[in-house]
Chains A and B, each alone.
Chain A
Amino acid sequence: KQEVTQIPAALSVPEGENLVLNCSFTDSAIYNLQWFRQDPGKGLTSLLLIQSSQREQTSGRLNASLDKSSGRSTLYIAASQPGDSATYLCAVRPSTGFQKLVFGTGTRLLVSP
């Protein structure tokens, strides 16, 4: 059974810092991995999608890496801003039952001015 863990559960940093969020998964048989952002009381916004054959994806100040064999992904946020404050969720799409996403519990990020 696929399990996804995110560390840390919460993170508080001053504005301008570079930071790394971690995601690990127990079964390397995945189709892809997706990072989402959730603002309080809002839905999920997709940030980056990495296919199993890819090593990383970049969008603006965000960079996500994937090491499928070791069951790890990281989301790197450069020059953090208060507007980055949100909960960040990692989700994998297993190779079997591939239409289901398996989510981690998220990392709650607070960037202070």
Chain B
Amino acid sequence: EAGVTQFPSHSVIEKGQTVTLRCDPISGHDNLYWYRRVMGKEIKFLLHFVKESKQDESGMPNNRFLAERTGGTYSTLKVQPAELEDSGVYFCASSQDGWFSGNTIYFGEGSWLTVV
């Protein structure tokens, strides 16, 4: 069974440019999450989808970040325009559970973004 896959694995862009990160969750997982880790900091929650609906986007840093999940399948996270402080690792994760379950969350290998 395929795990959570993310693309691109690495990206270097200039300040002001746009980058779109893609995540394919594990098949059958309704819950999809985005997290990120910036240099020297802990991993922080960005947002959570249940199927195609945004359940919680309280962690999104500002309106330069836009996440979508078309048809409840894959998700994209767009940063436009990118700033230097956006550099870091963006992790996507998925899980099968509902609110009452303690199922494990599965993480992808991350998209490493460098803004220069």
Q: Contact residues of A with B, CB < 8 Å? A: 4, 31-32, 34, 36, 41-46, 49, 51, 89, 91, 93, 97-106
Contacts and interface: CB of A to CB of B under 8 A. Distances in A.
Interface in B51-108: 55-56, 58-59, 91, 93, 99, 102, 104-108
B99 A89 contact: no
B16 to A, nearest CB: 27
A98 B105 CA distance: 13
A102 B34 CA distance: 13
| Range of interface residues on B (Cβ < 8 Å) | 20 to 34
Contacts of B104: 34, 46, 49
A103 B105 contact: no
B77 to A, nearest CB: 16
Interface of B: 4, 31, 33, 35, 41-45, 48, 55-56, 58-59, 91, 93, 99, 102, 104-110, 112
A34 B109 contact: no
B56 A31 contact: no
B42 A4 contact: yes
